Amino acid sequence: MKKNFILSLIIIFSGIAAFGQTTATDFTATDCDGFSHHLFSELEAGKVIVMAWVMPCAACLPPSLAAFSAVKNYVDDYPGVVSFYLVDDFGDTPCNTMKSWAGANGLPKANVFSTATIDMGDYGQYGMPKVVVLGGGADHTIFYNENYSTVGVGEAIEAALGLTSITASPRVDLGVILSPNPAQNELHIAYRLPQAAELSAEVLNILGAEIFSIVKDEKQVAGAHEMQVDISGLSNGVYFFRLNTTNGAQVVRFYVAQ
């Protein structure tokens, strides 16, 4: 009895201590297809990881599907950047069972894990399902951590991608066209201003941080405009071109493949 009481206290205080944490806990784990994943390496490469722990069970399904659907909203625009991890709660369900459950319930492209290495206890209280959103590059930030709920997962993914800061200005359609895309050494940018405006243009990384400024507070007349930008110094990956005007901003994603 005393042993069980002490164990309960340990679990409670461990959950309380972890509840307030703001950074992810690292792991290296092999998924059910035999691929190894090092969490911090993936986050530092600019990825956003959404993890859902399940038993699996019927009650776990609706929130898991909601989290998976939120991820799918970003897969086309951010290929290879936003990933969904479906994790067995205590790593004791056979991989075949986990994969069958995922495939039968509309989660066929999830990264499936059955390993105790990925411990939901690292993120506070245990719960079915538990969903976390991790990103922030080298900061390894926790953007979302909820049990039994997925409300706000989409917003958390946007924050993890840096889209909150990227699109801070009102969005407007300035007809921005980037070519080629993927680009190598140079990026051709075409856009149209409906009226004369003062504008700035910059290239951002996947986390929303400015890499370099193209123009700053430059007054331009209404009509069609073009510019050629040297991107030979950029590494392969996903970037954003942001055009800010006095009337709003447009952000367009592009890829670099040197």
What's the CATH code of the domain at 95? 3.40.30.10
Supply the CATH number for residue 238's domain.
2.60.40.2550
Number of domains in the chain: 2
Residue-range definition of the domain harbouring residue 228: 177-256
pLDDT in tens, the chain (258 residues): 333 433 333 333 333 333 468 899 999 999 999 999 999 998 887 889 999 999 988 888 998 999 999 998 887 666 678 899 999 999 999 999 999 999 999 988 889 999 999 999 999 988 878 999 998 888 899 999 999 888 999 989 988 887 655 665 677 889 999 999 889 999 999 999 999 999 999 998 866 778 999 999 999 999 999 999 999 999 888 888 999 998 888 888 888 987
Distance CA 226, CA 228 (A): 7
Distance CA 174, CA 244 (A): 10
Kindly state whether residue 167 falls inside one of the protein's structural domains: no
Same-domain pairing of 156 and 55: yes
SS3 258: coil
Same-domain pairing of 153 and 35: yes
Q: Classify residue 54 by its DSSP letter.
A: E
Residue (of 203, 215, 190, 208) closest to 242 by Cα position? 203
Strand ranges of the sheet holding 197-204, from the earlier edge strand across to the other edge? 210-220, 197-204, 237-245, 248-256
Q: Is the pTM value of this prediction over 0.75? A: no
Instruction: Report the run of H or E that residue 144 belongs to, with start and end.
Output: strand 141-147
Kindly state whether residue 172 falls inside one of the protein's structural domains: no
Of 117, 136, 161, the one marking the end of a domain is 161
Same-domain pairing of 187 and 78: no
The total of other beta-carbon atoms located within 10 Å of residue 183's CB is 20
Distance CA 91, CA 73 (A): 28
